[in-house]
Structure 1
Amino acid sequence: MSPDPIVLVRPVLPALEKLRAALDEVLRSGVLTNDGSRVRAFEALLSARLGIPELAVCGSGTTAIQLACNALRLDGEVIVPAAAFPAVSQGVWHARCTPVTVDVDPSFLTLCPEAAQAAITERTTGILAVHTFGCPADIDALWTVARNAGVPLIFDAATCWGITYRDRPLLSYGDVSTLSLHSMKLTHSVEGGAVMSTVREVADAVRRLRNFGVGVEGAWTAGTNARMSELHAAVGAVVLGEADNEIRRRIRVRDWYLEGLRHLEWIQPVPFRPGAWPNVASMAVRLTPDGPVNAPALCAELMRYGIHARAYFTGRYRPRGLATAGPTPVADELGTRIVCLPFWGGLKENDVLRVVDAIDRIGTRRTLAVGLARRRALP
């Protein structure tokens, strides 16, 4: 009998009785949506936990980006990283702005400040950087670029719940920050997102925008239906109570990976910027250029062992037809070098050993195959 598959991530699910009690309360109230009391209560919980008073939830992390751009009244080009999940540029497009891609830093995979500076034009109305795989972007340098250009700095912090940087929540940086509350994230509401700020009044604008832009003087044209339901908010409030335990579990899983991968010279964990902790968003690794296998091939081979992995910077995940400000060689190469391995708090040490053993076997087999092919090619 083949072993059970090891999935990329499994949702954090509290005890069934806790979820049932929360959902029963919503159903008994008869209020399922339309910015009800549980949505506001969930916002208050998130705000208190982060220490960020300006916070509003919405339907997804993608709409959070859209609503953030709209709340800031952006109406031109927005600089974004060339290596990012498609939701980043899609959120900008839905806000009726034009995403312009620039290259990323080769070490931390975040938006390159020099590339962003070079891309600034009179049409630039914002910079949207990503804390890639939970690793902080170069906040100081990007802040300087944004301030010199007179445009707001937005951080897509989709995966950054629980991560601190310089003793502050990573979500508290920038003019505005956005969070995903999708079920695959460390804390979630099944589907959802949030927009927050420590320096801008954005929460009320986001609440209006998410509700079709409706107001006493009429509806804003940028409004949409991006509300979170009462059911999602109720689940989110319960899941939030599991966040600290999930963080502790993920730290343990990461330690198992670091120990297991230590002997493989051709695969290394993507570094985390100093001053940030803990690294619990994902288990991203980089494959060396001369290694036995590239990222898409490794993911395909791992599937044969029943192990799910993702090469998020491959062509499959890169949006087409975006404007580019200059060459993006680093981002272009990442599609062949970066892999996210299975990572969630419920993994056992034997699961991690199984992933590492499969990687080792794949690398050894590929190395032997290449060596044999070279010998056969000799005259």
Structure 2
Amino acid sequence: MKNTVADLAVLGGTPTFPQVLQVGTPSVGERSRLFERLNTALDNRWLTNGALVREFEERIAELAGVRHCVATCSGTMALQLLYQATGLTGEIIMPAMTYVATAHAASMLGLTPVFADIDPETGCLDPQQVETVLTPRTSGIVGVHLWGRPCAADELEKVAKEHGLTLVFDAAHALGCSHQGRRIGGFGSAEMFSFHATKVVNCFEGGAVATDDDALAGELRVLRTFGITTDGRSLGVGTNAKMTEASAAMGLTSLDAFTETMRHNRANHARYCSALRGCSGLTVVDFDEAQDPNWQYVIVKIDEAVTGIHRDLVMRILRAENTGAQRYFSPACHQLEPYRSQRPVPLPHTERLAEQVLALPTGPAVSAVDIDRICSIVRCAVSHGPELADRLGPSPTRPFAIS
């Protein structure tokens, strides 16, 4: 435990962890079951376009409460196909408090991401701010369920309907969650899920689009297979965005462990809240039980005006202890190239949140003892903020690297 400043590794103390304890360590589930599924695919000599992908799609559709799930090789590709299949053109409005893939997938298609500010209470896109950036070139809105906290999806649906806009969602963080009694996956025209290695359910790499729109699902299935239908007809330009059987095997195995993973993460979140309670200037982002949170993230906000220490310096201190804390998301998209040069825009609520947030390790690989040790580092750093800021100086600027 780190009780004094002298104990901190950044000042010469012994690192708390012998190896880096990462944010988003993958949940692999029951390894024997994974190998069983992989062996079935190998025995059948069927490595793509197979039964495992179809089973994975069926289970995700059921979890999302929709008729269709179209699995892809990555969440980014799922977004790109979704933007294309819904016929978006010109400008699409989205929050900047998201992983850069939300914007890049649009830019790759020649669309223009337009960033609107967030609701400071939720960190999600503010429907009222959406209306302030509408132009005649606006064709759609992209809502993002940040950290698994559902955005104001019903209000965004009203804005989209009023202005005749297409509404889709980046639900990369929100598998299994709900909003106003509706499952995430069934809002707007469609919603994208990510199954990247760091997600609560992973496929090594993977993504999917969930929708109740039969025609849209059909279009997505054609687009992900070079624009060619199952009977061999070419309907237009497509790409190769298929999920492999190996990825689906991992996804199914990870899905098997989903309930237990959430249970463990929920306990982790509660322990962080308890251990950091009363830490002046630090807030653990909470989740609403009514929204069926998946507890995938532990996010803290550090207010430098109160603590006397910037979030980046706390991160530097944690990393010296081999705790791989991450800024999440910081810089925000509008502060990254090419967007900050092409379309500079002030987003005060987004910028304030991006300066404060820090993701701490959780997941099945993180124990209660690990959390107690991490929290002792955080409490020591925050309680000695001005002294540490004076001794260590400014933190180096580091790019963020997680999604």
* TM-score of the pair, normalised by structure 1: 0.91
User: How much does 1:195 deviate?
Assistant: 0.3
User: How much does 1:263 deviate?
Assistant: 1.9
Matched, 1:356 2:375: yes
- Contact 2:85–2:216 under 8 Å retained in 1: yes
- Contact 1:7–1:308 under 8 Å retained in 2: yes
User: How much does 1:351 deviate?
Assistant: 0.6
| Partner SS for 1:183 | coil
Given candidates 316, 320, 344, the residue that maps to 1:300 is 316
Q: RMSD in angstroms over aligned alpha carbons?
A: 2.2
**Distance of 1:261 and 1:187 partners within structure 2:** 27
Aligned equivalent of 1:23: 38
* Percent of aligned pairs sharing the same letter: 27
| Partner SS for 1:172 | coil
Given candidates 335, 345, 351, the residue that maps to 1:332 is 351
User: How much does 1:164 deviate?
Assistant: 2.4
- Contact 2:172–2:192 under 8 Å retained in 1: yes
* Worse-matched range after superposition: 142-151 or 314-323: 314-323
Given candidates 215, 223, 241, the residue that maps to 1:226 is 241
User: How much does 1:239 deviate?
Assistant: 1.6
Unaligned runs of 5+ in 2: 1-13, 393-403
Given candidates 218, 222, 226, the residue that maps to 1:204 is 218
Aligned equivalent of 1:341: 360
Aligned equivalent of 1:277: 292
Aligned equivalent of 1:245: 260
Change (3 A) 1:200 1:207: closer
| Partner AA of 1:166 in structure 2 | Q
Matched, 1:319 2:336: yes
User: How much does 1:208 deviate?
Assistant: 0.9
How far does the alpha carbon of each residue in 1:311-367 deviate from its partner, in whole angstroms, 9 at most, with x for none? 123238753132658531111222321111112133211111111100111123333
How far does the alpha carbon of each residue in 1:245-297 deviate from its partner, in whole angstroms, 9 at most, with x for none? 11111111111011011020211022446842325121111112412222222
Given candidates 48, 65, 80, the residue that maps to 2:62 is 48
Question: How many matched pairs?
Answer: 371
**Distance of 1:325 and 1:71 partners within structure 2:** 29
Change (3 A) 1:292 1:328: same
| Partner SS for 1:186 | coil
**Distance of 1:163 and 1:141 partners within structure 2:** 17
Given candidates 70, 77, 88, the residue that maps to 1:74 is 88
Matched, 1:32 2:51: no
Q: 4+ residue runs of structure 1 moved beyond 4 angstroms?
A: 323-326, 369-373
| Partner AA of 2:141 in structure 1 | I
**Distance of 2:214 and 2:131 partners within structure 1:** 23
Aligned equivalent of 2:270: 255
Matched, 1:65 2:79: yes
User: How much does 1:129 deviate?
Assistant: 1.2
- Contact 1:79–1:127 under 8 Å retained in 2: yes
User: How much does 1:19 deviate?
Assistant: 1.2
Change (3 A) 1:121 1:180: same
**Distance of 1:28 and 1:352 partners within structure 2:** 43
**Distance of 1:325 and 1:367 partners within structure 2:** 33
Unaligned runs of 5+ in 1: 374-379
Given candidates 137, 140, 151, the residue that maps to 1:137 is 151
Change (3 A) 1:18 1:274: closer
**Distance of 2:101 and 2:287 partners within structure 1:** 23
**Distance of 1:160 and 1:9 partners within structure 2:** 15
**Distance of 1:168 and 1:107 partners within structure 2:** 21
Q: How does 1:176-191 map to 2 (within 5 A)?
A: 176-191=190-205
User: How much does 1:39 deviate?
Assistant: 1.5
| Partner SS for 1:202 | helix
User: How much does 1:219 deviate?
Assistant: 4.5
| Partner SS for 1:360 | helix
- Contact 1:196–1:202 under 8 Å retained in 2: no
| Partner AA of 2:296 in structure 1 | A
**Distance of 2:107 and 2:391 partners within structure 1:** 50
* TM-score of the pair, normalised by structure 2: 0.86
**Distance of 1:274 and 1:140 partners within structure 2:** 18
- Contact 1:101–1:324 under 8 Å retained in 2: no
Aligned equivalent of 2:101: 87
Aligned equivalent of 2:401: none
